[in-house]
């Protein structure tokens, strides 16, 4: 698959944070530690694991704020992947600390989960235990529950992280031996506190509409039985390119969901977004009427950013409503680029923007209809799903010379990618944008 390298800003940011942690650890009396002493070594390792955990979690909080990571890169999927990898590091460092504590102090494993508020020290330790349980719940739901819980439920579970972070900081401040004894570590702990406070304040403000774009609904129309189109007026022009998406929020404090921009008029600052009714959020979105106010956030994405420099043929493969990233691309580049579209739907009624797409591509727009028995046009292939043979027969160019762009659900992306690789399409010429965030 096609992947992009990190930006220079992101590299600098990572380098500074890692360097600061290394300097902290190696200039806060590490040379006085007797590494051959079991007690001293495990004490130091336990403290280092705790500092590492807080560093990772601070980075996680920053990554949750989209305008902050957008300063480094617009590649949302790269950031999302980094976010998931950091969760693994978080889980490892989080579990390591209580294990090291139990071994160091010779307590029972049940001590990690038992609560005791009999004195101040035990009280702060119990606060940490509660925080540990909350963050463990967040981590488990992040890793295991995508198919078990809805987006809305996972979002609400993630809110448990905020009180947990604050309690964890106080636990370290009042019970951490390394923080109490080493001045540099104590200052580092205070720095983390202020970074967390600022990041959380920005995140809360962001959740209630600040740093977002207020928009007015101009029109809300139905395209098929479950696909709608929103026409929105922005107060100012945005720095937009054809393949990007924006997050939409219906009301302040509510959840946000990503939607690909269908088209954007830079002269009038009017943006169109198409969506399919799929869950609670999109069902609620259907009640939006003209002149209602909603907010947008973005744009994000680097899906097809190299298209202007590509001279070889371009093959777009889209499923159902996921035609949206290609709509503006086809409109703007069909006259100057060799573009072929394979559009996957169940029936003819499911096809969205058929007239517009065919007016630009003509016979280069091929419809593959899995539950339609008869074809009305020569560019329709019915009663079948996409197959390697169909890909070979419908393309007018060598498979090895074309660039392939895929957009659809996770299962469709996985299936079509396997087909292309089986057809010996070079992996670096396959790019995709899965709608599985």
- The count of C-alpha atoms lying within 13 angstroms of the C-alpha of 148, restricted to the half-sphere facing its C-beta, is 7
Mean pLDDT of the chain: 76
pLDDT at residue 39 tops 60: no
Structure tokens at 360: 């630009």
Number of domains in the chain: 3
Structure tokens at 324: 């949206």
Sign of CA dihedral 10, 61, 240, 354: positive
| C-alpha to C-alpha distance for 413 and 405, rounded to whole angstroms | 10
| C-alpha to C-alpha distance for 362 and 395, rounded to whole angstroms | 14
Q: Which residue has the higher pLDDT, 314 or 220?
A: 220
Q: How far is CA 171 from CA 86, 110, 120, in A?
A: 22, 19, 11
If asked whether residues 289 and 336 sit together in one domain, one would say no
If asked whether residues 289 and 153 sit together in one domain, one would say no
- Report residue 60's pLDDT band, with 50, 70 and 90 as the boundaries: low
pLDDT value of position 1: 38
Given a contact cutoff of 8 angstroms between Cβ atoms, the answer to whether 317 and 430 are in contact is no
Of the listed ranges 148-152, 333-337, 409-413, 415-419, the least confidently predicted one is 148-152
| C-alpha to C-alpha distance for 299 and 232, rounded to whole angstroms | 14
If asked whether residues 265 and 395 sit together in one domain, one would say no
pLDDT value of position 216: 92
If asked whether residues 370 and 261 sit together in one domain, one would say no
This prediction's pTM: 0.73
Given a contact cutoff of 8 angstroms between Cβ atoms, the answer to whether 408 and 417 are in contact is no
Q: How far is CA 350 from CA 87, 279, 432, in A?
A: 39, 18, 22
pLDDT at residue 248 tops 70: yes
Bridge partners for 260 per DSSP: 245
pLDDT value of position 220: 92
pLDDT value of position 333: 82
| C-alpha to C-alpha distance for 230 and 212, rounded to whole angstroms | 18
Mean pLDDT along residues 110-118: 75
If asked whether residues 410 and 286 sit together in one domain, one would say no
Bridge partners for 259 per DSSP: 246
User: Does the residue 426 lie in any domain?
Assistant: yes
Domain with 359 in it: 307-434
If asked whether residues 139 and 257 sit together in one domain, one would say no
Q: Which residue has the higher pLDDT, 190 or 383?
A: 383
- Report residue 36's pLDDT band, with 50, 70 and 90 as the boundaries: very low
Mean pLDDT along residues 84-108: 67
| C-alpha to C-alpha distance for 277 and 285, rounded to whole angstroms | 8
Given a contact cutoff of 8 angstroms between Cβ atoms, the answer to whether 212 and 246 are in contact is no
User: Does the residue 2 lie in any domain?
Assistant: no
Segment (H or E) for 15: helix 8-26
Structure tokens at 177: 């031996």
If asked whether residues 252 and 391 sit together in one domain, one would say no
Mean pLDDT along residues 155-162: 75
User: Does the residue 188 lie in any domain?
Assistant: yes
């Amino acid at each position: 698959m096609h992947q992009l390298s990190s930006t220079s800003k992101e590299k600098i940011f990572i380098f500074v944070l890692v360097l600061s942690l290394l300097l902290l650890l190696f200039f806060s009396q590490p040379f006085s530690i007797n590494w051959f002493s079991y007690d001293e070594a495990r004490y130091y390792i336990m403290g280092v694991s705790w500092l590492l955990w807080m560093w990772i979690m601070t980075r996680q909080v920053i990554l949750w704020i989209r305008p902050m990571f957008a300063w480094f890169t617009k590649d949302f999927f790269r950031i999302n992947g980094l976010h998931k990898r950091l969760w693994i590091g978080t889980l490892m460092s989080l579990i390591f600390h209580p294990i090291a504590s139990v071994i160091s102090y010779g307590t029972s494993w049940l001590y990690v989960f038992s609560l005791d508020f009999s004195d101040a020290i035990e009280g702060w330790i119990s606060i940490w235990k509660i925080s540990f349980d909350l963050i463990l719940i967040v981590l488990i739901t992040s890793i295991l529950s995508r198919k078990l819980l809805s987006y809305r439920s996972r979002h609400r579970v993630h809110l448990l992280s905020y009180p947990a972070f604050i309690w964890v900081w106080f636990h370290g401040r009042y019970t951490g031996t390394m923080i109490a004894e080493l001045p540099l570590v104590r200052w580092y702990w205070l720095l983390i506190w202020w970074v967390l406070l600022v990041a959380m304040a920005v995140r809360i403000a962001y959740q209630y509409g600040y740093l977002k774009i207020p928009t007015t609904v101009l029109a809300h129309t139905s395209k098929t039985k479950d696909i709608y189109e929103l026409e929105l007026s922005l107060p100012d022009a945005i720095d937009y390119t054809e393949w990007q998406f924006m997050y939409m929020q219906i009301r302040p404090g509510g959840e946000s969901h990503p939607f690909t921009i269908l088209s954007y008029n830079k002269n009038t600052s009017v943006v169109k977004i198409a969506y399919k009714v799929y869950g609670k959020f999109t069902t609620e979105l259907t009640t939006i009427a003209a002149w209602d106010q909603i907010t947008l956030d973005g744009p994000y994405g680097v899906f097809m950013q190299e298209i202007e420099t590509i001279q070889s043929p371009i093959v777009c493969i889209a499923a159902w409503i996921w035609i949206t990233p290609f709509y503006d691309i086809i409109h703007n580049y069909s006259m100057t680029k060799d573009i072929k579209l394979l559009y996957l739907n169940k029936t003819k009624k499911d096809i969205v923007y058929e007239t517009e797409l065919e007016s630009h591509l003509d016979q280069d727009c091929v419809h593959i209809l899995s539950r339609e028995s008869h074809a009305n046009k020569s560019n329709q292939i019915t009663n079948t799903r996409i197959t390697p043979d169909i890909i070979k027969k419908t393309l007018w160019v060598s498979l090895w010379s074309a660039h392939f762009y895929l957009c659809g659900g996770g299962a469709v992306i996985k299936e079509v990618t396997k087909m292309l690789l089986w057809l010996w399409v070079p992996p670096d010429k396959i790019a995709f944008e899965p709608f599985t965030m």
